[in-house]
Amino acid sequence: MNTIFRAACLVAMSFLVASTAWAMPTADLTVTGVIRPQACALTLAGGGVVDLGVIPAGSLPKGRHLLLPPARIDLAINCAHAARLALRQDDNRAASHLPGLFRLLPKTNGEYQMFGLGTVNGQKVGGYRVSMLPADVTGDGVPVDVVYRDPGSYWIKTPNGFMSTNGAVHAWSKRDDDTAAPDSFRSIAATLTVEAVLQKPESLPLEREVPLDGSLTFELVYF
């Protein structure tokens, strides 16, 4: 241990001598910090549970996927002061994503707009889409546009507000604004629409109950 200590001292002394020999007449001072907005509260009605009810196994059409009736859930964001923020989502059941289901829901652009409904005995149960239609959203009590941005891209107004798994974020813009840039709001009230599609019955273990186990995390992003 003493040998190591002496070697460390020699290195430090060498550095000190070299620093003195090459000293500069100026030095830079960098001042950093962050002014962070007061946190906003994000809530989902009913504890965030969308109950699609009990689906009788006999109602599943042979050889086909079953589209369930749309369900709706209210989302609210409340801030102490006006803040410019966006909504990001992560699929907690991404491993259960069932390819191809997006083609059964009109206007869906690709796999990245579908979320998984869990697995049973290794079988994928189905998938669902979540949308935030501009007609169902208000900012500070007045109608607003829904805008989104893919990673590394620019803001675009969207007529359907489909949530996605590709890292895109959704925000809100005043309707009298000519651009799609997000605006600041103290409150956002929205109703989300959830549309689920079930796996073909031949691929499900229907000798037992099959739970629908979708899980999605919403996160507020300040910018």
Q: Per-residue pLDDT averaged across 79-90, rounded?
A: 94
3-state SS, residue 87? strand
The single-letter DSSP state of residue 6 is H
Does pLDDT of 206 surpass 50? yes
pLDDT value at residue 37: 65
Task: Tell me if 27 is assigned to some domain.
Answer: no
Task: Tell me if 212 is assigned to some domain.
Answer: yes
Each residue of 16-47: pLDDT tens digit? 334 445 556 888 887 887 776 668 999 999 99
Each residue of 99-138: pLDDT tens digit? 999 999 999 999 999 999 999 999 999 999 999 999 999 9
Of the listed ranges 1-15, 36-50, 88-102, 209-223, the one predicted with least confidence: 1-15
Q: Per-residue pLDDT averaged across 78-85, rounded?
A: 94
CA dist 77 and 172 (Å) reads 12
Degrees (nearest 5) of the Cα angle 119, 122, 126?
35
CATH at residue 73? 2.60.40.1090
Task: Tell me if 44 is assigned to some domain.
Answer: yes
Q: Per-residue pLDDT averaged across 65-91, rounded?
A: 95
Residues 6+ apart with CB under 8 A from 75: 42, 43, 44, 45, 132, 188, 189, 190, 191, 192, 218
Count: domains in the chain: 1
Task: Tell me if 90 is assigned to some domain.
Answer: yes
Does pLDDT of 9 surpass 60? no
Task: Tell me if 33 is assigned to some domain.
Answer: no
Task: Tell me if 24 is assigned to some domain.
Answer: no
Q: Per-residue pLDDT averaged across 213-221, rounded?
A: 95
Task: Tell me if 47 is assigned to some domain.
Answer: yes
pLDDT value at residue 177: 74
Q: Place 185 in a pLDDT band, splitting at 50, 70 and 90.
A: very high
pLDDT value at residue 32: 80
For residue 193, the tally of other CB atoms under 10 A from its CB is 18
pLDDT value at residue 111: 96
Long-range contacts of 55-59 (CB under 8 A, 24+ apart): 55/198, 57/201, 57/206, 57/210
pLDDT value at residue 12: 32
Q: Which residues span the domain enclosing 46?
A: 38-222
pTM: 0.82
pLDDT value at residue 134: 95
Task: Tell me if 81 is assigned to some domain.
Answer: yes
